Amino acid sequence: MNKSWDSEYKKMWEERYKETEFVYGKEPNVFFEKWIKKLKPGSILMPADGEGRNGVFAAKLGWDVTSFDLSEEGKLKTLELAKENQVSLKYIVGDLDELQFEKESFDGMGLIYAHFAAEKKTILHKKLDQFIKPGGIIIFEAFGKNHLHFNEIDPKVGGPRDLDMLFSTAEIKSDFENYDILLLEEKKINLKEGKYHIGKGSVIRFVGRKK
C-alpha cells in the first residue's frame, strides 16, 4: 500500500464519517448480531469498526470491546453512539499496520466489511490472527468477488470496485487455515445498512474457531 493511496483512503473515510447521520446506520450488522449473541462475552477486537455500530452492540451484550479504525470522525461517532446506549468501549485510531497488542489477548474478533488493499489482505489477516486466543472466534462478513457485478448494476449497494479488494472463500480458508470452520459461504443478500449499503449484493460469511 503506497502512502498516496493510504492518504486518499483515510481522507475518504474521514469525509464519509463526518456526515451528520450514521452512514451505515446505528443497528449492528445482521450476521454479526446473530453470531455474537451465541457466544459467551469476553474480550473482542473490532478492526475497521467505523462508526461503532457493531462494537457498541457487543458492549451492550457485556463484551469488553476494543475497536480500531483509521478515522478520527469514526471514533467521535462511536463514542456518541456508546453514550447513547450507556456503554463504554476502547477505540483506537491509527494504521492497522502499526496495531500492536499482546499475542493471544482476545477471545474474539469481528471483521465486518473490513476491506484492505489487495496486497495487504493476507498480511493483515495473519497479523490480526496473532491477537486471538486458541478457542477464540472470528465473525467475518465482507463483499465477495461476485459482488462486483451487483455494484456495477447499483452503486448504492456499496463496496470496493477493485476486484482484488474483494474476497473469495478460498482466500478466507487460506488466510485462517488454523481455524475450525463453523461456517464459510458466499451468499447473495439484501443489504439495508444506512445509505451506503442498500440493495442486493454478494458477501462472504465466515465463522471460525481458532485451533
Q: Of 167, 139, 143, which is closest to residue 157 (Cα–Cα)?
A: 143
Cell of 28: 449492528
Question: pTM of the entire structure?
Answer: 0.95
Cell of 62: 457485556
Cell of 106: 482476545
The domain tally of the chain equals: 1
> What is the span of the domain harbouring residue 64?
3-210
Q: Answer with the residue of higher pLDDT: 30 or 9.
A: 30
How does pLDDT run across 41-97, given as a tens digit for each residue?
Answer: 999 999 999 999 999 999 999 999 999 999 999 999 999 999 999 999 999 999 888
Beta strand pairing status for 132-143 and 179-193? unpaired
> SS3 sequence, 121-155?
HHHHHHHHHCCEEEEEEEEEEEEECCHHHHHHHCH
Phi, psi of 8, deg, nearest 5: -65, -35
Q: Give residue 1's pLDDT band: very low, low, confident or very high (50, 70, 90).
A: very low
Kindly report the CATH number assigned to the domain that includes residue 126.
3.40.50.150
Amino acid at 44: I
How does pLDDT run across 138-165, given as a tens digit for each residue?
Answer: 999 999 999 999 999 898 899 999 999 9
Please say if the pLDDT value at position 40 is more than 90. yes
Cell of 210: 481458532
Amino acid at 129: D
Asked if residue 151 lies in contact with residue 157, where contact means CB atoms within 8 angstroms, the answer is yes
What is the reported pLDDT for 7? 84
Distance of alpha carbon 30 from alpha carbon 103, whole angstroms? 29
Asked if residue 87 lies in contact with residue 56, where contact means CB atoms within 8 angstroms, the answer is yes
Which letter does DSSP use for residue 119 in this model?
Answer: G
What is the reported pLDDT for 2? 54
Q: Of 40, 34, 42, 45, which is closest to residue 68 (Cα–Cα)?
A: 45
Distance of alpha carbon 188 from alpha carbon 185, whole angstroms? 10
